[in-house]
Amino acid sequence: MTIEGRTARGKRRVGLSERGVERVLTLIALSAIAILGLITVFIFIGGIPAIARTGLWSFIWGHKWAPGRNIFGIFPMIMGSLWVTLGALVVGVPLSLGGAIFLSEVAPSRAARVIKPAIELLAGIPSVIYGFMGLVILVPFIRTHLGGPGFSVLASSIVLGIMILPTVISISYDALKAVPDTYRDGSLALGATKWQTITMVLLPAARSGILAAVILGMGRAIGETMAVIMVAGNATKVPGSLLDPVRTLTSNIALEMGYAAGLHRAALFGTGIILFVIIMLLSVLASLTTTARDKVR
């Protein structure tokens, strides 16, 4: 066989192997989408009967949850999730933003290489550990010094605020690092101080990335289950203050799914539908925010 023939044969083999790898990767990507679709169908098939029987309006805005009498209103759980999530953002976002600014703009590079992986390790700690620490330390502290049962919106917010730190810090850090150095150099050359450069140049330039980080942190907080169960108190009522016990959507599903049956089980699936829609909307919002940032660049 001539050299040209061997070369052509080798190119055909390379082309076939590349097409094979491409098809395998495409199949893997499609399988992930298919799994998500199956989960969605499973949840909706399980939850639609309860929502249809109760009525969407009554199901979402109902204030009473009494499975024994087939009364299913999840408004207290929706409000509980919102209270806890907003509290977590109030606690976690300032700490996260400050940490990201310190790591990206203030800390020496050697210190940042040590501190950033240490913060990211927080994401690997099981949520039950956070809940246990909150149960042992935070709940008694709130009960003793602030009043109430201790199991409360405040305890849940503090625990979740700590849990979202790795997510928000990592993404905010990447957003700040993605700002071109010419922005920093130009601001400093015009006479701005380091702090003025951070607040007036870098933060506005990275705001879309920081907003995406906050939205993803919000999704992380609203979807948390075990830690919230341990410190929230799980009362099925709309909280009136930060010291009141609360039950979230995720807690409602986890606490009752083990013994639920019939319409009660379907109502828990319906709760999952509402939670699924909320988290999907947050994910889409984060994706749109990131896309808008990339287009601006």
d(CA 63, CA 54): 13
Dump pLDDT digits (tens) for 199-253.
888 898 888 888 888 888 888 888 888 889 999 988 888 888 889 999 999 999 9
Radius of gyration of the chain (CA): 25
Tell me the average pLDDT of the chain.
85
CA distance 283 to 212: 9
DSSP string, 48-75: HHHHHHH-HHHHHH---EEGGGTEE--H
Place of tokens 């298919």: 34
The Cα angle at residue 188 between residues 185 and 193, in degrees rounded to 5 = 145
Question: In sequence order, what E strands does 44-185 have?
Answer: 65-66, 71-72
Q: Please give the Cα distance from 290 to 273 (Å, whole number).
A: 26
The residue type found at 124 is G
pLDDT score for 113: 85
The Cα–Cα gap between 281 and 33 comes to: 17
65-296 CATH choice from 3.40.50.2000, 1.10.3720.10, 3.40.50.1470, 3.30.1360.120: 1.10.3720.10
10 Å Cβ neighbour count for 107? 16
pLDDT-derived band of residue 107, with 50, 70 and 90 as boundaries? Answer: confident
123-145 pLDDT per residue, tens: 888 889 999 999 999 999 999 99
Domain boundaries, given as residue ranges, for the chain: 65-296
Q: Residues 154, 139: contact at Cβ < 8 Å?
A: no
